[in-house]
Structure 1
């Protein structure tokens, strides 16, 4: 009996430490940024003992307006292909496909700093989600700042209101998403906060390699991009034919580190389970960096709860 009691006690402790296993049904209405941020989400969920059922609705570069107008086209004519996603269903059918626990929306990153671009489309989507998935909780995915050496900042626009630095972009998008969340009484998935914490960490943040000159670089030369959360500089193969590779800069999209950081944020928000100590680490990611990113994601989520 004593042995049985001891085993039962140990099992209780392990169960309490691991937390309750959950199944989350998630529909994301977004673009490449939502795809980036959820890339490793299923792997983290599995390693944490949870189950994720995820239906992504992805349109490259899509804003609130693009998704709202697609749904409106489908309402006007269900046979119009312009109103359908790659699944062959409209937004209405996707919302009614499952009893989703969560539905997420987000603004296009290039417009994220400008709240004037959010409405009336964000409110239209909120109302549409409420109508066709009334049981789902609406979450607002806060997207992230571009890399500090992105052309948006190295060759800033003269357009009024356009952010000229990484900090300006973050401050703008942070304020805009906060305002929307307050209007909707909705919770934020603070991916942008986590990126900013990592991008400004004095001991970890990516630093621009000022010795690299893209104008004279030859394949396979690349700058030191240690701790970049973004794709950054890379050599691109021609899309067709046998032309030469070309050097390109993508300071927008997340690389493996950024995708892992984003997924850790989403994991804690959706499952209520800290990513710190999660055993899933993508192949090629340094365990020390993974630990930093887990801690950073946890900090960002917990800061929103205070």
Structure 2
């Protein structure tokens, strides 16, 4: 019995001990759940390192759902080292380092029962170098800005002072935060401009050269192509010089360049240009592979012009993006804040133009002209345009004269009288004075034609948006009877004294009124009725014929190819028509053809009027032979035709034939 009781007691005691242990464990767990420690909120960083001026975001982690709805606030232990910039809705704080040292950023509940913190160590990075341009060119009455380039930092940390030695050459103002300096030239001279940190650790200097803004020299730069070449490079200097004006002319040239290409070249600082520059003495120098920025730095430009490529000049939408981009680049890279900006209005093509871009205007000259005027007028509002140079209107005005549609050498580029017309327009815009009466008449020009060009330009400046008919210049006179020698040369750039230049080889190209060597008019018109292939410039330049040709006459020709295509064209014969004869007089026609070659390039010249006759010569390396036909009388319509083709002995595979010069002489 005792043993049985003992076993039962033992079992009972064992069970009781297990129960007591479980109760104790349960009680301990319940006590843990009731106690809330201060670490119920924490931060994602315990320590951080920052550079003065930088910012850091600290995000709190709420670890107890019972306290998530409590309100928190941030504090810093040292406000000279860090500051709280902003606090988001989730209590994430943006901290900025404002000074060197160590500080603690803390977040705690408003009642103070919860808190977390991050220790932040900061250090200050200071610039150790400042870079300035080696030299700066400034101008009296103009402002130049220089932005110092500090290393290591976006904004300088040290304090700086600018100084100039000697004083009095420039004045300046300084931005106290960036230390950008605005320089005003006071007088001509050179000074050393220095920026120095107050602690003397960082120093930079540049040489400032001040030139006289009012030096009386007008400087103009075109960013263009062959159309700016036509307008600026031939006759503008002569017009300025005759008016007693000093001028420097620059042209950044790429053939066929459009605004898109100029804008791209600017963005890439591409050295893609032929930089043509005409100096104070009228000497022209050309430098290859020049960037826009280089030309901008070359002179203190008073005017800079922009233009669109000719086939797009009547399409306003092609201006919008590239013109604004190019303009902004140029403005940022010129030293002269007084520079004025021009738009060079191009001209419509001749009616006989074969340019592929003519289809943009339905091959209609007036439609093209009106589109160009409208496009440039709108483009003027895209940039700070001082003026549109209305060269296109000037050319269109000139076409209303007796000269007609004869201002192009190939259907789109200008011939010599066209160039003079465009240059006269530029003269009026640049110098703000009338070109009428300007004494400059280029050698070889008929004075009447120069007068027409000047009036066309003057009227264009007065009325740039419309065509002004030159009613006083509808005829040049002449009897219709040739009484003296008439000399004609065939070259797209023709301006030889005493010679009539046929400057286009295309059908309908015209010399409206042939002149004698003394510039009197005959009343006879010369027209191309069947085109030539093109111009050749490889003729002999030293000749011994009685035509007494200058090199520019004998060395250039219009050519055709009667046997095989050349440049995609077969020209079996070129045909000229003389019209306006008023009598039954008879005439002698003499021809010269020349092209450096070794094969036989015999050319046949046939003159057809009331009667006809032919003559031949071998143009291959010809220096002394001319072909003449005598006794030709105009037909009943007062017309004589001249056919030019290859002769029977021509053994060139393409059948090339040439006409360089022609003389019409009266017979007794």
Same fold (TM over 0.5): yes
Give the drift of 1:93. Answer: 2.1
Of residues 121, 128, 139 in structure 1, which corresponds to 2:322? 121
Matched, 1:40 2:235: yes
CA contact (8 A) 2:389 2:429 kept: yes
Question: Greater share of strand residues, 1 or 2?
Answer: 2
CA contact (8 A) 1:109 1:144 kept: yes
- Give runs of ≥4 in structure 1 deviating > 3 Å: 80-89
Q: After alignment, is 94-103 or 21-30 more displaced?
A: 21-30
Give the drift of 1:182. Answer: 2.6
Find the counterpart in structure 1 of residue 372 from structure 2: 173
Q: 3-state DSSP class of the match of 1:24?
A: strand
Of residues 24, 27, 45 in structure 1, which corresponds to 2:218? 24
TM-score (ref. length: structure 1): 0.72
Of residues 444, 448, 464 in structure 2, which corresponds to 1:284? 444
Aligned residues: 237
Give the drift of 1:156. Answer: 6.6
Give the drift of 1:304. Answer: 4.2
Question: Greater share of helix residues, 1 or 2?
Answer: 1
Structure 1 residues 156 and 304 mapped into 2: Cα distance closer, same or farther (>3 Å)? closer
Give the drift of 1:151. Answer: 2.1
Find the counterpart in structure 1 of residue 411 from structure 2: 251
Structure 1 residues 265 and 84 mapped into 2: Cα distance closer, same or farther (>3 Å)? closer
TM-score (ref. length: structure 2): 0.34
Q: 3-state DSSP class of the match of 2:430?
A: helix
Find the counterpart in structure 1 of residue 258 from structure 2: 63
Task: Please list every run of 5 or more consecutive structure 2 residues that lacks an aligned counterpart in the other structure.
Answer: 1-214, 276-286, 467-668
For 2:273 and 2:444, the matched residues in 1 are separated by: 39
Write the mapping of 1:135-284 to structure 2, written as runs, cut at 5 A. 135-152=338-355, 157=359, 161-186=360-385, 187-199=387-399, 201=400, 203-206=401-404, 228-231=406-409, 250-284=410-444
Give the drift of 1:87. Answer: 4.2
Give the drift of 1:305. Answer: 10
CA contact (8 A) 2:259 2:323 kept: yes
CA contact (8 A) 2:271 2:290 kept: no
Structure 1 residues 180 and 156 mapped into 2: Cα distance closer, same or farther (>3 Å)? closer
Structure 1 residues 84 and 194 mapped into 2: Cα distance closer, same or farther (>3 Å)? closer
For 1:305 and 1:185, the matched residues in 2 are separated by: 19
Q: 3-state DSSP class of the match of 1:280?
A: coil
Deviation digits for residues 53-96 of structure 1 (CA, Å, limit 9, x no counterpart)? 1121011011111111112222xxxxx65588644431112112
Mark the structure with the bigger radius of gyration: 2
CA contact (8 A) 1:84 1:90 kept: no
Structure 1 residues 163 and 95 mapped into 2: Cα distance closer, same or farther (>3 Å)? farther
For 1:254 and 1:175, the matched residues in 2 are separated by: 22
Deviation digits for residues 97-148 of structure 1 (CA, Å, limit 9, x no counterpart)? 2211000000000111111211211101111121112331010000001111
For 2:333 and 2:216, the matched residues in 1 are separated by: 24
Task: Please list every run of 5 or more consecutive structure 1 residues that lacks an aligned counterpart in the other structure.
Answer: 1-20, 75-79, 208-227, 232-249
- Report the aligned-residue RMSD: 2.4
For 2:381 and 2:229, the matched residues in 1 are separated by: 25
Q: 3-state DSSP class of the match of 2:455?
A: helix
CA contact (8 A) 1:230 1:258 kept: yes
